[in-house]
Amino acid sequence: MKDPISMMRGIWSELYADSDIVLFEQLLDELEKLKSSNSQISLENEWYKNAVVYSLYVDLFAGDFTGLTARLDYLSSLGVSCLWLLPILDSPMKDAGFDIRNYTRIRKELFGLPESASEDEEMNLFSAFLDEAHKRGIKVIFDIAMNHTSMEHSWFKESTKGKDNPFRDYYIWNKDKELYKETRLLFKGMCPSNWEPYNGEFFFHRFFEFQPDLNYRNPKVLYEMTSVLAFWLSKGVDGFRADAIPYIWKEDGTDCENLPKAHRIIQFFRAATEYLRPNTLILAEACQPPHEVVKYFSDGNECHAGYHFPLMPQIFISLATADPTPIHKVLSESVTPAIPDSCQWFTFLRCHDELTLEMVTPTEREIMNAAYRKDMRWNFREGEGISARLANLFDFDAGRIAQAFSIMLTLPGTPIIYYGDEYGKRNDDVYFNQQSEATGYSDTRYYVRGPVDWVEVEAKMQMSDSFERKIFDLLAGMLSVRNQTHVFGEGTIAFIELNDEKGNRSNGLLSYIRKTKMESYLVVHNLNPEPSTFVFNKNMEQMFEYGSQNLSGLYTIAANGFIWLRILNTM
């Protein structure tokens, strides 16, 4: 980005004309002071392309930041190079921390310090954690909800005091529910309306009724949120998962999603972070079709990366139907447009939310629910999602789980591993019941969260033949290979068909070549319920395999098996 300040100035003028130029100049002064005093080491260009991301809740994974620091060697041994900390900011925790009460404080319970501990003591502990992560080459990013706050945020409390309160316009208030009638209900079956009554009027929200939406038409909101990002960059974080960004700008008569001015807001954030610390990651949490998500990359001046939400269900459909076609189609340019060279897709099998079925056809939804919704208690949003852990979805079959990981790790993008999936953590019924009672919401996503019992896990890890150890070793082995090459993070992909020794097409094989200027890999997965064979007349080095055998160039792959082969002499 050539001139971040000029870009910020242009966007501000476009959004707010010149009526609030004094506020903009005040923001620039703050950013300049932070930049001049910032001692943070510069981030490598496009570091996120070859990262392995591990997603976790600090408290559920390790209790607090001291416990998480003690687990960094474990994560490093797995092959992790970036931690995505699920919500850590101060919150009443009605929505797992996405209801933020204070943007510049971390929840006190994540420090394990006495209640009387000062903010400085807390921040020193967080800084010590960051230092230890960075010593191991592990970047740290965390969630920040850009669209809404908690009702307990001081801004909202002030806004409820009346129309003349200076914070009233930080949120969207109306005398009735007649605005934004075209907006869909995101929490269908849980929230009946996007408008919540309060003291004779209504406030607007896209998520739960205790999460009022911010009003970016007010320039003070953009000022405040940019200051928040600057604050955390000065503390040493390496990036942000920008939560719920498609919804941050509203216009009556529209569906209030993916509006042009929402993109301008994100571009403003990007310019500010580039000015302060270039290559700070902004990861788009935009649960939209790829042709919409790519708009959040813009010309390489908006988000650095975005989730490829539709790829995930197609991986599961291909595995359920023993057919590679769903993956071929979703990664074709007709579905997944090309993105700027500097940008990247982030991929995942599971996450802290449901296995979402929003962006599949009714037929595909039937396939997914029939194959993977093994318990109706896992149902989410009236059939539009399945709340289940990877191990539950694949019936605790280590081979099937390993094959799913292999597909994700070798397709284009940066992979995300959800905490506990590396050892086959299962659904947590106890945690679901506890959280449902505590919050008053029977949100099935609680099944896929829950604490790690490290005493039990470590005991299982000591058993070489345990399910947990087998999953961990397989995944760690794959990550070791992936971390030695840039071909999977940066290379092109070409799907190919393979033949058996008789020259017949080998059906049910998901096979492709990943290639950079420096090297090429052939990756083959057998989706069939029985062994398959193929021949490939190249000089190759086996880099990883599960359930495969090579006899003089004839490869046999068992059901659920796969193989990674480096093609030699390609220069």
**365 in the same domain as 321:** yes
What does the pLDDT read at residue 432? 94
**240 in the same domain as 201:** no
Report the DSSP beta bridge partners of residue 240.
Answer: 142, 282
**173 in the same domain as 95:** no
CB 158 within 8 A of CB 173: no
In whole angstroms, give the CA distance from residue 473 to residue 479.
Answer: 10
What does the pLDDT read at residue 570? 53
**For residue range 171-213, what is the model confidence (pLDDT) as tens digits?**
999 999 999 999 998 887 778 899 999 999 999 999 999 999 9
Does residue 468 form part of some domain?
yes
Catalytically active residues are: 243, 285
Regions in the chain scoring below 70 on pLDDT? 1, 570-571
The CATH number given to whatever domain includes residue 554 is 2.60.40.1180
**162 in the same domain as 139:** no
**463 in the same domain as 396:** yes
**Token pair of 401 as six digits:** 């789980």
Query: Is the whole model's pTM more than 0.85, yes or no?
Result: yes
In whole angstroms, give the CA distance from residue 194 to residue 177.
Answer: 8
Listed residue (84, 100, 80, 82) closest to 92, CA to CA: 100
Greatest alpha-carbon pair distance for the chain in Å reads: 81
Compute the 3-state secondary structure of the chain and give helix, strand, coil in percent, each to the nearest 5: 40, 20, 40
**For residue range 232-282, what is the model confidence (pLDDT) as tens digits?**
999 999 999 999 899 999 999 999 999 999 999 999 999 999 999 999 999
**154 in the same domain as 143:** no
Does residue 100 form part of some domain?
yes
Sequence-separated (6 or more) residues with CB below 8 Å from residue 18 = none
What does the pLDDT read at residue 230? 96
**For residue range 319-362, what is the model confidence (pLDDT) as tens digits?**
999 999 999 999 999 999 999 999 999 999 999 988 888 888 99
What does the pLDDT read at residue 41? 76
Q: How far is CA 128 from CA 109, 125, 131, 141, in A?
A: 17, 5, 5, 15
Report the DSSP beta bridge partners of residue 203.
Answer: 173, 196
In whole angstroms, give the CA distance from residue 142 to residue 86.
Answer: 6
Question: Helix, strand, or coil here: 97?
Answer: coil
In whole angstroms, give the CA distance from residue 218 to residue 239.
Answer: 25
The CATH number given to whatever domain includes residue 391 is 3.20.20.80
**For residue range 422-450, what is the model confidence (pLDDT) as tens digits?**
999 999 999 999 999 988 878 899 999 99
**For residue range 240-254, what is the model confidence (pLDDT) as tens digits?**
999 989 999 999 999
**227 in the same domain as 209:** no
Specify the DSSP element, H or E, that contains 229: helix 219-235
**471 in the same domain as 323:** yes
What does the pLDDT read at residue 549? 92
**Helix spans in 294-424 (H):** 311-321, 325-330, 362-372, 390-393, 398-410
pLDDT more than 70, % of the chain:
99
**183 in the same domain as 83:** no
What does the pLDDT read at residue 357? 85
